Amino acid sequence: QQQVKQSPQSLIVQKGGISIINCAYENTAFDYFPWYQQFPGKGPALLIAIRPDVSEKKEGRFTISFNKSAKQFSLHIMDSQPGDSATYFCAASMRTAGETSGSRLTFGEGTQLTVNP
């Protein structure tokens, strides 16, 4: 059972446009929601993360919007650039016996973003 559902599977955006990737989760015990970015031939790397006590977090051109009541969160990439072309994964986790939230990350299916020049 996929606990984190991600859409779309693929996304093509023109340079300068806004890229939006959506995720929905089921488990209300999740308390940490990161986004990972993966370039071809590389492992995923943490891009930005949010906890449910805030509704939005912005880092440069990347913004996470979080809707706790709807159990949804999304990644917005403003002024998208060809260098942003990558696969993006949303994820969610919860603390287990007081341990780090990173220990049981559940990932979405991934979105392959292509930004055309």
Q: Which residues contribute to the site for other proteins (CB under 8 A)?
A: 6, 9, 32, 34, 36, 41-46, 49, 89, 93, 99-110
Closest CB to other proteins among 53 and 99?
Answer: 99
Pick the closer one to other proteins by CB: 11 or 49. Answer: 49
Least Å from the CB of residue 28 to other proteins: 18
Contact 21, 4 (CB under 8 A): no
Smallest separation (angstroms) from other proteins to the CB of 42: 6
Q: Which residue has the tokens 């999740």?
A: 30
Q: Are 94 and 31 in contact (CB under 8 A)?
A: yes
Nearest distance from C-beta of residue 110 to other proteins, angstroms: 5
Q: Which residue in the block uniquely carries the two structure tokens 């299916």?
A: 109
* Cβ neighbour number for residue 93 with a 10 Å cutoff: 22
Q: Tell me the closest approach of the beta carbon of residue 57 to other proteins, in angstroms.
A: 13
Q: Decide: 100 and 40 in contact? Cβ < 8 Å.
A: no
Of 60, 34, 61, 57, the closest CA to residue 45 belongs to 34
